[in-house]
Structure 1
Amino acid sequence: MPDPSQTPKLQLVDVHKSFGPKRVLAGVNLDVMPGESLVIIGGSGTGKSVTLKCMLGILKPEKGQVLIDGAPLAEVDSEAFLNDFGMLFQGGALFDSLTVWQNVAFRLRRKPFSLSKKEARERAIAKLARVGLGAETADLFPAELSGGMQKRVGLARAIATDPHVIFFDEPTAGLDPIMAGVINDLIRELVTEMGATAVTITHDMTTVRTVADDVAMLHDGLVRWHGPVADMDTATDPYLDQFIHGRATGPIAAIR
């Protein structure tokens, strides 16, 4: 488990973000410790994706700060930061015109990694093997793969550079329950094996229970509850209770 005395790997301090008159984040405070797997939950439109984009520097908050290893994101070497994280996108986001191995090795062929074609292909095949795909898939195109295989390729690409931080955006979206379970188990294994800091956004409670060390629930632009996944079921927060049990009535329905 992460050492609580450490400086957070990622930290949001009083982060506000709006789009015109629509307030999405209204003072989000969140710490992600080194080596921790944090899962952010909440209903659609509660700000999960916006929070992730603020962490990545894609969106700039109107107020508050995003810190990386204790330093403001604006002061961090953006190229070094970008080279130190991996990302599994919700829809896979594979390049249709590239083969599987070229997708996995996409960043490896570019600075600062700059591997040769042979080295990059070998690394890609090794990462594909780690997510359960054989070398025979390396020269296929994404269109020739099932949805579950495409998700595995996306996962192999996310870990290709052995990043210290990995982001997962709805990792089981569009998968059947069995394949979703396989992907969840793979994520848990890989994050633990690599010692990486992980941030996942999802509304899938099976993903939460498999992947999370800590859970943060967003609602109405604020973190309503944040704590260890083991404490989630006994927590008394009414927002969390309603969400994790899928109840139609409660404070969330009242606000809507």
Structure 2
Amino acid sequence: MIELLGVQKSFGHNHVLRGVDLKIARGTSMVVIGGSGTGKSVLLKSILGLVVPDAGTITLDGTDVTKTDRDTFLARFGMLFQGGALFDSLKVWENVAFRLLRGAKALPKDQAREIAIEKLRRVGLKPSTADQLPAELSGGMQKRVGLARAIAAEPEIIFFDEPTTGLDPIMSGVINALIREIVVEMGATAMTITHDMSSVRAIADTVAMLHDGKIRWTGPAAEMDAASDPYLQQFIHGRAEGPIESVR
């Protein structure tokens, strides 16, 4: 469904992506792993068109993403942001229904609110949460509101940017389980970027490791532990010694 061929991106002398080749099959959950600063976020932003690659092509259903109508293109996506990215001044239901209330296909307010409450229920939040402000919620609840917003418009493709950052192990497990259930339930194509191996094992069908601007390894999640790539093995087991240099 999504294909990247030879994607490169530099910022001045900092060569972030050095020729990324990656395929994400329709209806599957792809998780991209890699250390901090390896270009995972730049890769995601390139697919969304927020960053323009210096070279290479990115296609969605065989069509170059730079040659499609932006509104039509982005309408196919949902996004769970790393920090939640909720609007402080809007009530929870207004955050969830943000897309539904805007644009040429905007829904009436009462209908959008009804959908928002249903999506809040889907992520385990009570209807009473709808009229609260984000600041009144815990970090885990805010993350679930962000997930409800990501699925509110029934997108075909959902991106998850470090979905468990800042959460305790129990809440991380809750979020991982919700993501897996929702992706399967919706039949969506998912791409997650993370360095949390518990998330990888919980939600990935396939895994790709990004290192030094290129995909070092990609394959089914079930084959990850038996793979021979030394970079992958060092990363997934958190070893201090190996080919990946740590900053000391």
Query: Do they superpose with TM above 0.5?
Result: yes
Deviation at 1:113, TM superposition (A): 3.1
Which consecutive segments of 4 or more residues in structure 1 shift more than 4 A? Answer: none
Alpha-carbon separation, structure 2, partners of 1:137 and 1:89: 20
- Is 1:80 the counterpart of 2:68 in the alignment? no
Deviation at 1:84, TM superposition (A): 1.0
- Is 1:64 the counterpart of 2:56 in the alignment? yes
Q: Which runs of 5+ in 2 are unaligned?
A: none
Equivalent in 56, 80, 89 of residue 81 of structure 2: 89
What letter matches 1:183 in structure 2? I
Equivalent in 107, 112, 116 of residue 120 of structure 1: 112
Alpha-carbon separation, structure 1, partners of 2:230 and 2:196: 19
Equivalent in 122, 135, 145 of residue 143 of structure 1: 135
Deviation at 1:192, TM superposition (A): 0.3
Give CA-to-partner distance per residue, 1:183-233, whole Å, 9 cap, x none: 000000000000000000000000000010000000000000000000000
Counterpart position of 2:9 = 17
Give CA-to-partner distance per residue, 1:9-33, whole Å, 9 cap, x none: 1111000000000100000000001
What letter matches 2:109 in structure 1? K
- Is 1:152 the counterpart of 2:144 in the alignment? yes
Give CA-to-partner distance per residue, 1:157-190, whole Å, 9 cap, x none: 0000000000000000000000000000000000
Q: Secondary structure at the match of 1:233?
A: coil
Give CA-to-partner distance per residue, 1:109-145, whole Å, 9 cap, x none: 1124311010000000000000000100000000000
Counterpart position of 2:21 = 29
- Pairwise CA RMSD of aligned residues? 1.1
Counterpart position of 1:52 = 44
What letter matches 1:97 in structure 2? S
Q: 1:111 to 1:249 in 2, by over 3 A?
A: same
Counterpart position of 1:190 = 182
What letter matches 2:61 in structure 1? D
Alpha-carbon separation, structure 1, partners of 2:74 and 2:213: 26
Equivalent in 64, 78, 95 of residue 103 of structure 1: 95
Q: Secondary structure at the match of 2:57?
A: strand
Q: 1:122 to 1:165 in 2, by over 3 A?
A: same
Equivalent in 210, 215, 220 of residue 207 of structure 2: 215
- Is 1:252 the counterpart of 2:231 in the alignment? no
Deviation at 1:254, TM superposition (A): 7.8
Alpha-carbon separation, structure 2, partners of 1:45 and 1:63: 20
Equivalent in 139, 153, 163 of residue 171 of structure 1: 163
Alpha-carbon separation, structure 1, partners of 2:12 and 2:176: 36
Q: Secondary structure at the match of 2:245?
A: helix
For the 8 Å contact 2:240–2:246, the answer to whether it is kept is: no
